[in-house]
Each structure stands twice: as C-alpha cells, then as structure tokens.
Amino acid sequence: MIIKPRIRGFICTTAHPRGCAAAVDQQIAHVKEAGPIGSGGKRALIVGASGGYGLSSRVVVAFGCGAGTVGVSFEKAPEESRTATAGWYINRAFDARAKRAGLYAKSFDGDAFSDAMKEQVIAAIKADLGQIDLLVYSLASPVRQHPRTGVLHRSAIKPLGAVKHFKTLNVDRGVVHEVDLEPATAEETAATVQVMGGEDWEFWIDALAKANVLARGFRTISYTYIGSDLTWPIYWEGTLGKAKEDLDRAALAMRARLKAVEGDARVAVMKAVVTQASTAIPVVPLYASLLFRVMKDARVHEDCIAQIDRLFRTQVYGSSRAEDRAGGGGAMRLDDVGRIRMDERELAAPIQNEVRRRWPLVSTENVAELADLEGFRADFLKIFGFGLPGVDYEADLDPALADL
Ligand code: NAD
C-alpha cells in the first residue's frame, strides 16, 4: 500500500508507519542533544503515551533520565486495507528504540479509564519494575466509560452561559470563518468533567498506592491549558475549563495523600501545540497558528518535545548542567494554586499583544501571511507520520509493518 494522508476535517484517517517512527526519532534526537537530565526518576508510567504531550514525556524521561517506561494508550491496529492509527506505530517505534538503548519499555493498548487496564499495568509494574517514581497523566479523550457506574460520558467542547461568537480556521482549506456555539447544558458540563477532569487520575493513584507500587519521593504530573482572553470563552471559561478546574482539585487532594510517600502531585500549565486533541477545539487552530507565527518571529516558539524537555529539565527534575540550572532547574515556577507554569513565553505581554493586534485583521486572504498556516499544517501532518525528512512516501508498504 502506498500511504498518503487522507484528511477528514480535523483528523487524518491514515498514518505512515515509517514516518511515525521518524517522528519518534526526531524527538529522541532533541532530548539526546540537550544531554542527560540529572536526577530524574528511573521508572515511569505514562498514561496517554502515544502522542502529543504524553509521547514527549515518555521520550524525555526515557532518553533524558534513562527511565524504564510503561505506556498506556488507546490505538487501533492495522487491518489488511487500512493503516493503524498513528499511535499504534509510534508505540512500536518507541518500544524498539528504548530496548535498543537498553531501556525497559512496555506499551499497553486499551482503555485507561477501566479497572482492568489499571490491574494489567500494576501487574507489569510489580513484575518488571517493582515500583514507579513518576506517573505522567496525559489523557485526552472524547469519551469515558465510568468504571464504577458503567455510564458512558461524552465530553462537549462548548462555551458556558450564552451563545458565543467565534472566529476560527479550517486548516485544511485555509479558510477563516465565524461560528456561533451554543452554550453547554449542565449535563454536558458535568459529562465533560467526568471525561477530562481529575477523577480518573485519582483512581490511578488510588490503585497504584493500594498495590504499594509508589516509590518514596513519587511524583505525578498532569497537563492543563489556560491560555489568554482570546481562547478563554471556548476553553478556560467553557466546559473544558470546568474539567481542568477539577484537575486542580484532584492535584491538591493527591498532594495531601502522597505525603505518606513524600510524594508530590502537580498540574503543569502548557503552551498551545498541535496535537490530535487540540486541533479538535474550535478557535485553537486560528489562535495557535497566529501564536506560532509571532513566537517563531520572536524566536521563543516551542513544539511538544521542546516544552516537555524544558519542563522536566528545569522544573520537575534538577539538572546536572549549569546552564539548565541557570534556567530554573531544581526550583519549580509555581502559580498561586501550585501549578507549574510552562506557558510564560506564550503569555508574555509582547507575544499576546501582537497576537491580539492580528486577531481582528486575519482573514482567508491574509492568513498565510499573518499566521503560520504552513507550520500548523506541517505539525498536523507530522502527528500522522507525514512530511518527515528521509522517509520514502512512494514506497509500497505493508500497513502491519512490524520492524519499526
Ligand atoms: P493527544 O491527542 O496528542 O494524546 C492523547 C493521548 O491519550 C493518546 O496517547 C491517546 O491514545 C490517549 N487516550 C485517549 N483516550 C484514551 C483511553 N480511553 N485510554 C487510553 N489512552 C487514551 O493529546 P494532547 O494534546 O497531548 O493532550 C494531553 C494532555 O495535555 C491533555 O490533558 C491536554 O488538555 C493537555 N494539554 C494540551 C495542550 C495542547 O495544546 N495540545 C496544551 C496544554 C495542555
């Protein structure tokens, strides 16, 4: 099969095995070039490990800290006439590279919200690692079947209170347009909190603690987005913001609970990047492509791996390198509710003022100029393994390709 991108709205229904492996290689190279991360944990569990911030976290702790990793994600295997989802190839490529580097790696495919998955993962930790030093909780899902009630909750990405008018971008067609979004009902808001809030993160910690697999000094991190007034109506002040508030609640509760192992639980506020999850949020593609243009011009842009590398190198773990310590290694940059802030470059006044200045001006005619439409598209295709240098995209491949 000759595998080409097939884009439907904000998803690509094909993925390129060799390209996905090349994307993993790029991330590993980024971390290796930055050098080892001094005092990192050596045994980590990453929930939501196959893409976006979770994949970068796995790469950083493995190839930066030398950690053995267990990854959990929800991906589809290939069929005869269909490629697998990108994360399926990515997990295989990651596991192969980790093993070649002498690092333990095991990837589980299935529903992280279920008790069965938690049991399987804990059994593997007990058998292979004994305990873990780190849990990165980086799930982004549209649905969650509640493990206790069996109810299938569906998240809704909607504003709250009243109909809100938004400017947004169809990335595929390069069209800037306006949309009206109906406010969420109370049920939709509650369901979004069920899916994207902190309860499942707490369930993981409860299960791991009960099984006595949390090492002394154990840390757990989950990711949030706050953004600026341009995205607040759809994000922080919408259903997603309510879910993320619940993540803050969970972090606080878990910080108290983890005192027993001298542990810590933190939410890290990350910058906007292109991932499967973020492209599905209205407004984000327009905001992010304007932001990327402005941040790239100011030479402060970071992609997924650059953000996560800086997070672990300067905030989560100290660094053995003097220049990293000068950049804040060891001491965490926390806000008033104890979140780690990694969005300080995105939110810097000169960056936001410039994005805000461009916002009313941007249209279909000038979007390629005022915004980084090409960069956004390239990042989007890269998620699915397309557009990577050195990959033969004309090659006839078996989609079940095993040697990644
Ligand atoms: P992503 O879509 O790239 O990754 C989501 C991961 O979750 C994948 O590995 C997927 O397989 C996994 N997953 C989804 N449902 C699952 C299930 N039921 N069981 C097991 N695995 C499942 O998403 P992302 O953008 O990297 O988001 C990760 C976290 O980062 C989210 O909490 C998100 O809010 C946060 N965040 C993202 C951005 C951004 O701009 N993308 C910014 C700040 C914070």
For the Cβ of 46 lying below 6 angstroms from any atom of ligand 1, the answer is no
Dist. CA 183–CA 192, nearest whole Å: 13
308 within domain boundaries: yes
Instruction: Please tell me the total count of domains within the chain.
Output: 1
CA 113 to chain centre: 17
402 within domain boundaries: no
Ligand 1 atom 27 nearest Cα:
140
Give every CB contact of residue 45 below 8 A, 6+ residues apart in sequence. Answer: 69, 70, 71, 72, 121, 125, 132, 134, 135, 136, 208
393 within domain boundaries: no
Backbone angles phi, psi at 106, to 5 degrees: -140, 130
253 within domain boundaries: yes
Ligand 1 atom 38 nearest Cα:
272
β-partners of residue 364 are none
The mean per-residue pLDDT over the stretch 384-398 comes to: 96
Dist. CA 171–CA 58, nearest whole Å: 28
Kindly give the pairing relationship between strand 214-224 and strand 132-137: parallel
129 within domain boundaries: yes
Three-state SS letters, 121-165: HHHHHHHHHCCEEEEEECCCCCEEECCCCCCEEECCCCCCCCCEE
For the Cβ of 303 lying below 6 angstroms from any atom of ligand 1, the answer is no
Rounded to the nearest angstrom, the distance between the alpha carbon of 55 and the centre of ligand 1 is 9
Q: List pLDDT tens digits, range 253-277.
A: 999 999 999 999 999 999 999 999 9
For the Cβ of 85 lying below 6 angstroms from any atom of ligand 1, the answer is no
Ligand 1 atom 30 nearest Cα:
223
The pLDDT score that the predictor gives to residue 321 is 46
Q: Which of 196, 275, 308 to mutate to test the pocket of ligand 1 (most atoms within 8 A of CB)?
A: 275
**Are the beta carbons of 30 and 308 closer than 8 angstroms?**
no
Dist. CA 61–CA 282, nearest whole Å: 32
pLDDT at 324 over 70: no
For the Cβ of 74 lying below 6 angstroms from any atom of ligand 1, the answer is yes
β-partners of residue 153 are 144
Atom number, ligand 1, closest to the C-alpha of residue 284: 40
269 within domain boundaries: yes
Atom number, ligand 1, closest to the C-alpha of residue 225: 43
The pLDDT score that the predictor gives to residue 325 is 46
Query: pLDDT exceeding 90 applies to what percent of the chain?
Result: 91
The pLDDT score that the predictor gives to residue 320 is 45
β-partners of residue 165 are 180
Ligand 1 atom 40 nearest Cα:
272
Q: List pLDDT tens digits, range 196-224.
A: 999 999 999 999 999 999 999 999 999 99
Which residue is catalytic, options 225, 235, 287, 317?
A: 235
Q: Which of 121, 152, 240, 278 to mutate to test the pocket of ligand 1 (most atoms within 8 A of CB)?
A: 278
Residue type, 206: D
For the Cβ of 234 lying below 6 angstroms from any atom of ligand 1, the answer is no
Report which of 17, 25, 38 is spatially closest to residue 315, judged by C-alpha positions: 38
Rounded to the nearest angstrom, the distance between the alpha carbon of 140 and the centre of ligand 1 is 3
Q: Which of 221, 223, 269 to mutate to test the pocket of ligand 1 (most atoms within 8 A of CB)?
A: 223
Three-state SS letters, the chain: CECCCCEECCEECCCCHHHHHHHHHHHHHHHHHHCCCCCCCCEEEEECCCCHHHHHHHHHHHHCCCCEEEEEECCCCCECCECCCHHHHHHHHHHHHHHHCCCCEEEEECCCCCHHHHHHHHHHHHHHHCCEEEEEECCCCCEEECCCCCCEEECCCCCCCCCEEEEEEECCCCEEEEEEECCCCHHHHHHHHHHHCCHHHHHHHHHHHHCCCEEEEEEEEEEECCCCCCCCCCCCCCHHHHHHHHHHHHHHHHHHHHHHHCCEEEEEECCCCCCCCHHHCCCHHHHHHHHHHHHHHCCCCCCHHHHHHHHHHHHHCCCCCHHHHHCCCCCCCECCCCCEECCCCCCCHHHHHHHHHHCCCCCCCCHHHHCCHHHHHHHHHHHCCCCCCCCCCCCECCCCCCCC
**Are the beta carbons of 151 and 237 closer than 8 angstroms?**
no
For the Cβ of 56 lying below 6 angstroms from any atom of ligand 1, the answer is no
In this structure, of 62-76, 322-336, 385-399, the range with the lowest mean pLDDT score is 322-336
Length of the chain equals 404
CATH of the domain at 107: 3.40.50.720
pLDDT at 352 over 50: yes
Rounded to the nearest angstrom, the distance between the alpha carbon of 279 and the centre of ligand 1 is 11
Q: List pLDDT tens digits, range 127-148.
A: 999 999 999 999 999 999 999 9
Rounded to the nearest angstrom, the distance between the alpha carbon of 183 and the centre of ligand 1 is 24
Ligand 1 atom 15 nearest Cα:
141
For the Cβ of 279 lying below 6 angstroms from any atom of ligand 1, the answer is no
For the Cβ of 292 lying below 6 angstroms from any atom of ligand 1, the answer is no
400 within domain boundaries: no
Give every CB contact of residue 36 below 8 A, 6+ residues apart in sequence. Answer: 64, 65, 66, 320
The mean per-residue pLDDT over the stretch 26-39 comes to: 94
Catalytic status, residue 393: no
The mean per-residue pLDDT over the stretch 80-92 comes to: 95
Q: List pLDDT tens digits, range 134-189.
A: 999 999 999 999 999 999 999 999 999 999 999 999 998 999 999 999 999 999 99
Q: Which of 27, 59, 74 to mutate to test the pocket of ligand 1 (most atoms within 8 A of CB)?
A: 74
Task: Give the count of beta carbons closer than 10 Å to the beta carbon of residue 83.
Answer: 27
Range of the domain at 174: 11-383
Rounded to the nearest angstrom, the distance between the alpha carbon of 156 and the centre of ligand 1 is 15
Ligand 1 atom 24 nearest Cα:
52
388 within domain boundaries: no
